Amino acid sequence: MLQEFKKFAMRGNVVDLAIGVIIGAAFGKIIASLVDDVIMPVIGWILGGLDFTNYFIGLTQASSQAATYDAARKAGATLGYGTFITVTVNFVIIAWVLFLVIRGMNRVIKQEEAAPAPPPPPSKQEVLLTEIRDLLKARG
């Protein structure tokens, strides 16, 4: 059973999938940082200094009086719509980048398919007939 599992785990598709998941996780962290640390502060600045991380609606008395979203979550039930906006922007950026990557890959694949295949080499019979023709021409 161990050998069978090893054979399964070391197949190309499984290894490729594992690499894709690892790269995807790292890419997700990069996008999260881009959104949290670059894009959302700029959007907040454009909208007059808004900080989306602290946009929430407290559903309890204690949570609605909290100053920050983290404090409100500790105090009781809250709706963190600022965090939702940030995660939505995250998703849109990831979807856009994946769209561009897949679009580029599809263009490359179409170019490879459109390139004409080289003609097959002549068969032995064709080579022999060509040699005979050339000899007959040389004889005159």
Q: Can you give the three-state secondary structure of the chain, one letter per residue?
A: CHHHHHHHHCCHHHHHHHHHHHHHHHHHHHHHHHHHHHHHHHHHHHCCCCCHHHCCEECCHHHHCCCCHHHHHHHCCEECHHHHHHHHHHHHHHHHHHHHHHHHHHHHHHHHHHCCCCCCCCCHHHHHHHHHHHHHHHHC
In this predicted model, which residue has the larger pLDDT, 25 or 14? 25
Tell me: pLDDT of 24 over 70.
yes
Superfamily of domain 2-139: Large-conductance mechanosensitive channel, MscL; domain 1 (1.10.1200.120)
What confidence score (pLDDT) does residue 115 get?
73
In this predicted model, which residue has the larger pLDDT, 1 or 8? 1
Mean pLDDT across the chain: 83
pLDDT class of 123 with cuts at 50, 70, 90: very high
CA separation for the pair 29, 94 (Å, rounded): 11
Q: What is the pLDDT of residues 44-102, one digit of tens each?
A: 788 777 777 788 888 888 888 888 888 888 888 888 888 888 888 888 888 888 888 88
Tell me: pLDDT of 12 over 70.
no
Share of the chain above pLDDT 70, in %: 98
The answer to whether the pTM exceeds 0.75 is no
In this predicted model, which residue has the larger pLDDT, 53 or 128? 128
What confidence score (pLDDT) does residue 27 get?
83
